[in-house]
């Protein structure tokens, strides 16, 4: 990125950081835009150059949670499988949501469907800048994931599944909160997306790692 883009990214990140800190301290409804702007050391007008509403700030924050960084997939090559690092990231996501539950409930109850970013975030993902998209693309190259769908679409499907499961669990819809821990609910969504890309009744198998044979498919009883 050029210096202009770097500066814009820093300002945007500072707005989000300041807003989230205030939302945690005072609550979403009790935090006006002018106080977010003051905390970020910008004018109200500058705030609106970046975000149309407070909800847009909250949406950007949630989108960032649903996009793992590249470090999350550092072990993918060792395992020769996308599933283990994705399960580790999903477990971390569940922990972060539970630790910040009050604000997460506010976010999901307002945003409802939060899995599809818009604007520059969407364009960056489509351009392959998304680590999740890159990880799916590499898994396709290994023959682990079906290649007849774009990696971008697979990443969107996973984000949507995780967002919907988290939202139902947080907001107590469809009995989701009574079906088990958030960790379990999100892992179920992950496995549904990954296994749904294979033949019927065929579970995705981990590839051989460092000369060891791949383990047999897990039975339903040992899946978790």
**To the nearest 5 percent, what fractions of the chain are helix, strand and coil?**
65, 0, 35
Q: CA dist 77 to 80, 113, 207, Å?
A: 5, 33, 10
The average pLDDT across 84-102 equals 92
The Cα 168–Cα 10 span in angstroms is: 33
Average pLDDT for the chain: 79
Confidence of residue 119 (pLDDT cuts 50, 70, 90): very low
Helices 151-171 & 119-126 angle (0-180, nearest 10): 130
| Chain centre to alpha carbon of residue 63 | 6
Q: What is the pLDDT of residues 3-17, one digit of tens each?
A: 888 899 999 999 999
pLDDT score of 135 more than 50: yes
Note whether 72 and 180 are same-domain residues.
yes
**For the chain, how far is it from start to end, CA to CA, in angstroms?**
42
Note whether 130 and 185 are same-domain residues.
yes
Note whether 127 and 177 are same-domain residues.
yes
The average pLDDT across 165-169 equals 89
Note whether 81 and 174 are same-domain residues.
yes
**What domain range includes position 32?**
1-51
pLDDT, residue 75, reads 62
* Max mean pLDDT range (72-81, 104-113, 117-126): 104-113
Note whether 95 and 84 are same-domain residues.
yes
The larger pLDDT score, comparing residue 177 to residue 20, is at 20
pLDDT score of 21 more than 90: yes
> Is the pTM of the predicted complex or chain greater than 0.85?
no
The average pLDDT across 182-196 equals 89
Number of domains present in the structure of the chain: 2
Residue 206 maps to a domain: no
Burial class (CB in 10 A: 0-12, 13-18, 19+), 33: middle
Note whether 42 and 129 are same-domain residues.
no
The average pLDDT across 56-84 equals 81
Note whether 182 and 154 are same-domain residues.
yes
What DSSP state is assigned to residue 29? T
Confidence of residue 78 (pLDDT cuts 50, 70, 90): low
- Looking at the chain, the whole-number percentage of residues with pLDDT higher than 90 is 42
Provide the token pair at 96.
């972060």
Burial class (CB in 10 A: 0-12, 13-18, 19+), 24: middle
pLDDT score of 54 more than 70: yes
Q: CA dist 155 to 34, 100, 139, Å?
A: 36, 24, 12
Q: CA dist 169 to 25, 64, 165, 184, Å?
A: 23, 19, 6, 11
* Max mean pLDDT range (32-46, 52-66, 185-199): 32-46
The average pLDDT across 158-176 equals 80
The larger pLDDT score, comparing residue 40 to residue 82, is at 40
pLDDT, residue 112, reads 55
């Amino acid at each position: 990125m050029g210096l202009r883009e770097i500066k814009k990214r820093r300002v945007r990140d500072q707005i989000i950081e300041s807003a989230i800190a205030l939302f945690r301290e005072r609550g979403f409804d009790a935090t006006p835009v002018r106080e977010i702007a003051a905390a970020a050391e910008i004018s109200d007008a500058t705030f609106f150059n970046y975000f149309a509403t407070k909800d847009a700030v909250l949406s950007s924050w949630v989108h960032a949670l649903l996009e793992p960084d590249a470090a999350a997939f550092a072990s993918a090559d060792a395992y020769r499988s996308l599933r283990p690092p994705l399960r580790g990231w999903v477990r971390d996501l569940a922990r972060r949501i539970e630790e910040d539950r009050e604000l997460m409930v506010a976010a999901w109850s307002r945003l409802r469907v939060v899995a599809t970013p818009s604007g520059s975030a969407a364009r960056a993902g489509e351009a392959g800048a998304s680590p999740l998209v890159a990880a799916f693309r590499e898994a396709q190259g290994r023959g682990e994931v079906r290649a007849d769908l774009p990696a971008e679409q697979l990443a969107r499907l996973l984000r949507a599944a995780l967002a919907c499961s988290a939202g139902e669990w947080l907001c107590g819809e469809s009995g989701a909160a009574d079906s088990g821990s958030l960790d379990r609910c999100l892992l179920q969504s992950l496995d549904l997306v990954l296994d749904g890309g294979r033949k019927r009744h065929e579970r995705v198998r981990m590839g051989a790692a460092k000369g060891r044979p791949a383990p047999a498919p897990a039975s339903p009883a040992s899946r978790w």
